[in-house]
Amino acid sequence: MTSIGLVGLGYWGPNLARNFDELAELRWLCDLDPDLRERFAPRYPTARLTDDFDDLLADPELDAIVIATPTVTHYELAKRSLEAGKHVLVEKPPAMNAAEAEELVAIAEATGLVLMPGHLLLYHPAVRAMKALIDADELGEVLCVYSNRQNLGKIRADENALWSLGVHDLSVILHLLDEEPSEMWAHGNSFLTPGVEDIVFCYLRFPSGKIAHMHLSWLDPHKMRKLTVVGKEKMVVFDDMELERKVTIYEKGPWQPTHTYGEWQTRTGDISSPKIPSDEPLRLECRHFLDLADGRGDPLRAGQDGLAVVRVLEQLQTSLVAAPA
Ligand SMILES: NC(=O)c1ccc[n+]([C@@H]2O[C@H](COP(=O)([O-])OP(=O)(O)OC[C@H]3O[C@@H](n4cnc5c(N)ncnc54)[C@H](O)[C@@H]3O)[C@@H](O)[C@H]2O)c1
């Protein structure tokens, strides 16, 4: 059974602890905060607790390290883990710039270790259903994707809305379109913490001509977690705020009747909602990591996908800083 050392027991880490405790051997729990270590010790009596990350690196029986610490620490902790011969699942994004993400991917590839960023939404059954629709050409030619990730809060001071929220949508958009954008712009402003943009609008254009947009904000009256794909034959919406109808397929699209000599008209048909399995995305993500660590699946893909996301985030950030608000 794969043995796991988890670092970071703040907001997100406990979700990873619960899953890996059920799926693997949870061997180490590491956090700098003594109160957190004390809180989780009784829940995981067989796990060893420490405030010293080096304890995990030094354990020859430990197979893999899961990193759920603040984003600014990811690169260093992931690099040290790989150099110590451990597979790595690192929360998104794996690094704060493309050069560091490239270095992590290179170390993982050279050592044959798994480097998997925690792109949770890629494991969401609704995203898998959308990807299946696109790959089966059910939507016709895909023209445009846009996402809405808005709410009032959680206001972060160490990461802007682009890096904190956009990383989710970006991972999904690149996955659905299977392309990296050739042009991208971001506009936004920091209203609360100087230099930390709270509201960001991003525009992406792909070599195939497809376009995408992301509206990212923690200063908004609506709680929205929505992604829309506009195809020429059908359109599909993933709404994560819906309890049951997570995915809705609209048989709507443009068409050109032969008698109108090139004039476009619109066509509307059925609106349907496929059943989406209620599997917990994080459980599927953890299983995928364990499969990869066990030698099942493509060990390089996840790291490469994570690098692509960081590359785009970095270019969007450059344009965000350069753009007038
Ligand atoms: N996939 C998702 O949906 C999702 C959701 C929330 C957060 N996250 C990601 O998870 C990561 C953690 O976010 P959070 O909100 O849980 O942060 P947090 O601040 O609540 O928790 C981070 C914990 O890491 C500990 N820590 C920091 N440096 C350490 C070190 N060197 N050694 C040991 N412990 C250390 C801190 O003491 C803290 O308890 C972030 O990268 C965030 O982007 C992902």
Determine which residue's CA is closest to atom 9 belonging to ligand 1.
91
- Given this model, what pLDDT does residue 257 score? 84
| 268 pLDDT more than 90 | yes
- Given this model, what pLDDT does residue 261 score? 77
For residues 271-296, give the mean pLDDT.
97
For 51-66, what is each residue's pLDDT tens digit?
999 999 999 999 999 9
- Given this model, what pLDDT does residue 325 score? 59
135 pocket-lining for ligand 1 (C-beta < 6 Å): no
Up-side HSE of residue 248: CA atoms within 13 Å toward CB? 16
- Given this model, what pLDDT does residue 117 score? 97
What secondary structure letter does DSSP report for 2?
-
6 pocket-lining for ligand 1 (C-beta < 6 Å): no
Atom of ligand 1 nearest to the CA of 282: 1
Distance from Cα 14 to the centre of ligand 1, integer Å: 10
d(CA 252, CA 42): 55
Distance from Cα 182 to the centre of ligand 1, integer Å: 32
For 216-253, what is each residue's pLDDT tens digit?
999 999 999 999 999 999 999 999 999 999 999 999 99
| 324 pLDDT more than 90 | no
Distance from Cα 71 to the centre of ligand 1, integer Å: 7
- Given this model, what pLDDT does residue 299 score? 86
Tokens representing 222 are: 């609506």
pTM for this prediction: 0.95
For residues 150-161, give the mean pLDDT.
92
For 195-209, what is each residue's pLDDT tens digit?
999 999 999 999 999
65 pocket-lining for ligand 1 (C-beta < 6 Å): no
| Ordered alpha helix ranges (H), the chain | 13-23, 34-40, 53-57, 74-83, 98-111, 125-135, 161, 167-177, 281-293, 301-322
d(CA 222, CA 150): 6
DSSP string spanning 111-139? HT--EEEE-GGGG-HHHHHHHHHHHTTTT
Q: Which of 55, 88, 91 to mutate to test the pocket of ligand 1 (most atoms within 8 A of CB)?
A: 91
